[in-house]
Amino acid sequence: MVAKRVSEIPFSGIRKFFELVEQSKGIVSLGVGEPDFNTPRPISDAGIRAIEAGYTSYTSNWGLLDLRAKIAEKLKVENGLHYSPENEVLITAGTSEALDLAFRALINPGDEVLVPEPSYVSYKPCVWFAYGTPVAVPMREENDFRVQEDDLRKKITKKTKAIIVASPNNPTGSVLTKKDLKAIAAVAQEHDLWVISDELYEYLIYDGEKHVSIGSFPGMRERTITINGFSKGHAFTGWRIGYAAGPAEVTELMMKIHQYTMLCAPTIAQHAALAAFNCKKEVKAMQEEYDRRRRLLVAGLNELPGVTCRMPKGAFYTFPNITGTGMDSETFAQRLVKEAQVAVVPGHTFGQTGEGHVRCSYSVSRDIITEALSRMQKFLAKKV
């Protein structure tokens, strides 16, 4: 009586632990990847003005042209990407919708999509929903969780249609270097593949690392869909505004699906997003605070018995190795939340290569991080 393909897809492991936290009292959560900052005031004020001005009707299916023009200018100046705001930039209800639209516009039944793992939990289900086949490409801790060219090549078949690139990465916090991206670009061009580049954490990069957009490389504009938005860098999650930029042949197809399923992204939030381009100071201040939290959390995790943790270069996640505790990631997370009242996400949620790790988010205050580390220390002192 229901769609088998949908019923067989598991619920998000992240949501599972988030709901557990909501139902329990006294739990300290490092589990959910959402900024704890308020949306910068200029953005909120712009949203309020939009309501007062009566901007509550539909926009174009593509989104506000003024917003698309701002995004196109941003992509040109900051990312070296050149797209027409008229028909190559699409405003979506968050980057999640942009990803879904990209897969549905590109994939035919049976097409394969290379998904480097550990990866964001939505990638594989979105491929399944589009009747494609996700193919996991392992990323390993010894390579700083950066996808390797040889591993990509091993997974390519005649059915391969696209590669997902996510930098900075959720859940590992890894950042792909220019050399890494050039290697991926060479593979994509050699095998005539699309690249879907998720760049949502672009503004959350540390230690002097620089964000590079793979679509800016020679020969990549015509085969890359760049996905981005305001949620993470601008503390804008609930407003639900993302965007996709790519060649018109695919963005027009994405718009067609969007037209029938969503119609347009939230109008008030689109007007608010126009103010985001004037919030560089606020974004930088949040990035600097995340950096302080990052160092605090990594240092504390490395002091825990049985735990080691590399220093992530981006996003707001750490991905500590917990194999020294003698527990698998599911057991570790379940016992930690029940016995120490600290929530983390099991690594296997993000793919098989995530086993032996857990995701800890530092999108929470330093006080919460310190309390979580204290509870984890007491828990592991008894168990290891």
Is residue 341 left, alpha or beta, with left meaning phi > 0 and alpha meaning psi from -120 to 50? Answer: left
Q: 377 CB contacts (<8 Å, ≥6 apart)? A: 303, 304
Residues 141, 285 within the same domain: no
Q: How wide is the angle at C-alpha 321 spanned by C-alphas 300 and 287, nearest 5°?
A: 55
The answer to whether 358 touches 340, Cβ cutoff 8 Å, is: no
* CA 5 to mean position of chain CA atoms: 24
For position 15, what pLDDT does the model report?
67
pTM: 0.94
Residues 96, 209 within the same domain: yes
Residues 17, 133 within the same domain: no
Residues 317, 349 within the same domain: yes
Q: How wide is the angle at C-alpha 295 spanned by C-alphas 230 and 239, nearest 5°?
A: 15
Amino acid at 275: A
Please provide residue 159's backbone torsions phi and psi, each rounded to the nearest 5 degrees.
-90, -5
For position 10, what pLDDT does the model report?
77
For position 383, what pLDDT does the model report?
65
Peptide bond into 118 cis (omega under 30): yes
The answer to whether 45 touches 53, Cβ cutoff 8 Å, is: no
User: Tens digits of per-residue pLDDT, 9-27?
Assistant: 877 767 666 676 677 778 9
Of the residues 243, 278, 313, the one at which a domain ends: 278
The total number of structural domains in the chain stands at 2
Residues 29, 96 within the same domain: no
Of the residues 278, 306, 328, the one at which a domain ends: 278
Of the residues 242, 260, 278, the one at which a domain ends: 278
Residues 220, 256 within the same domain: yes
Token readout for 262 is 């969503």
Measure Cα distances from 116 to 57, 138, 331 in Å.
Answer: 40, 6, 25
Residues 27, 153 within the same domain: no
CATH code assigned at 198: 3.40.640.10
For position 31, what pLDDT does the model report?
85
The answer to whether 147 touches 176, Cβ cutoff 8 Å, is: yes
The answer to whether 316 touches 295, Cβ cutoff 8 Å, is: no
Helix 94-106 × helix 248-261 angle, to 10°: 120
Residues 73, 132 within the same domain: yes
Q: For the chain, which ranges sit under pLDDT 50?
A: none
For residue 39, the 8-state DSSP code is: P
For position 17, what pLDDT does the model report?
66
Residues 158, 228 within the same domain: yes
Q: How does strand 160-166 pair with strand 133-138?
A: unpaired
Residues 20, 92 within the same domain: no
The answer to whether 28 touches 372, Cβ cutoff 8 Å, is: yes
Domain coverage including residue 243: 41-278
Please provide residue 281's backbone torsions phi and psi, each rounded to the nearest 5 degrees.
-65, -45
Residues 235, 289 within the same domain: no
Residues 308, 363 within the same domain: yes
Question: Which of these, 252, 256, 247, lies nearest to 225 by C-alpha position?
Answer: 247
